[in-house]
Amino acid sequence: MKNTLSFIILFTVAINIFNAQGSNSYSKVVNNAERAITNKENAKALSHYEELKKEKYIFSREIYNALICANKAKRWEEVNYWGKLFLEKGASLRFFNQRKFDEYRGTLFFEKLKRLQIKNSVNQQLIKSLDSLTRTDQNLFVKLKQDPNTKVYNLTEEIDKKLFFLEKKYGKISEENTGINLRNDTIYSSRPSFVVLYRHSYQSHLPNSYFNVKSKNNELERILYYNSMDYNLMPIIEHKNILYYLKEDFLQLEYKNDFINFLEITRKAYRNKDFSDYSFYYPIARIDSFANDESAHNFEKMLKEFYVE
């Protein structure tokens, strides 16, 4: 959301919600685990993450959070379990060079993890192709600023065709063949470096877009899904260093449970150093300034009607 904007308040949100992370049970387990973490109940959180071991697929964000949680609880066997999965997603053993893992590195469990010599399936050619496509995408969208008559749907359709082509050539695009987003081998982000391709595909609103096909097949991590969406009323607004939370009555029914969880997590963990090691989703729009006095007035009116501190 832009910092300078005029607000048009819409009362309905016409969004088709797909089961973005495999199943409702998966989301429920993750929400329970994250709430336990923010309640500083690490053992309880790990018991919830244990339930994910029955799932056919576990996304890197849950693996990462379970790994951090296990390390804080000094459950070294669990650190090894989740650490192995994290390495299979493309992380290297250098990830464990961080100070937070000092005690773990001194255990026999870490020696055992090193001896496993875990391999990954990251495809460097696919990564290069996605990086190139991301640059192409950015160059194409420059045209929107240069020529207001350019149709965004045409741009996204061309990008989508290339994404489908890459899947046909390299197999389903996933964390296994693209790897995970780790800066300097240590700083994890659940958002892939090519996340803008998903965002622009979503914005096409075409039923057969790459984004929608991935969603229908339950192949999108739910935070990636939610982060790509447009919201007429943002779940959380930050203005003058104050957070305003959308009232539950105005949360769309299809994703209400997830967003109630996100709002609760944000209240407890945002700016809290106790939880800085974790990867939580804070659906926040930061608003700093307005186009004119009327926009500022409408904004204040919107906050009073739809939000609470």
245: pLDDT confidence band, cut at 50, 70 and 90?
very high
pLDDT of residue 151: 66
Count the Cβ atoms, other than its own, within 10 Å of residue 246: 19
Count the Cβ atoms, other than its own, within 10 Å of residue 279: 17
Q: Supply 137's token pair.
A: 């995408």
Place of tokens 């009327």: 294
Domain boundaries, the chain: 1-18+221-309, 22-58+60-120, 124-178+190-219
153: pLDDT confidence band, cut at 50, 70 and 90?
low
Nearest Cα to Cα of residue 239 among 191, 302, 292: 302
pLDDT of residue 11: 29
23: pLDDT confidence band, cut at 50, 70 and 90?
low
pLDDT of residue 228: 87
When pLDDT is averaged across residues 59-82 and rounded to a whole number, the result is: 98
152: pLDDT confidence band, cut at 50, 70 and 90?
low
HSE, side-chain direction, 13 A CA sphere, residue 185: 8
* pLDDT(8) > 60: no
pLDDT of residue 69: 98
pLDDT of residue 16: 35
Cα–Cα distance for residue pair 157/32, rounded to 1 Å: 38
pLDDT of residue 204: 81
Q: Please give the residue that has the higher pLDDT: either 145 or 75.
A: 75
Q: What backbone torsions phi and psi does residue 121 show, to the nearest 5 degrees?
A: -110, 25
20: pLDDT confidence band, cut at 50, 70 and 90?
very low
pLDDT tens digits for range 71-118:
999 999 999 999 999 999 999 999 999 999 999 999 999 999 999 999
Instruction: Report CA-CA distances (Å) from 112 to 84, 88, 107, 273.
Output: 11, 16, 9, 31
Q: What backbone torsions phi and psi does residue 188 show, to the nearest 5 degrees?
A: -90, 140
pLDDT of residue 12: 29
pLDDT tens digits for range 194-236:
999 999 898 888 889 999 999 988 888 999 999 888 888 899 9
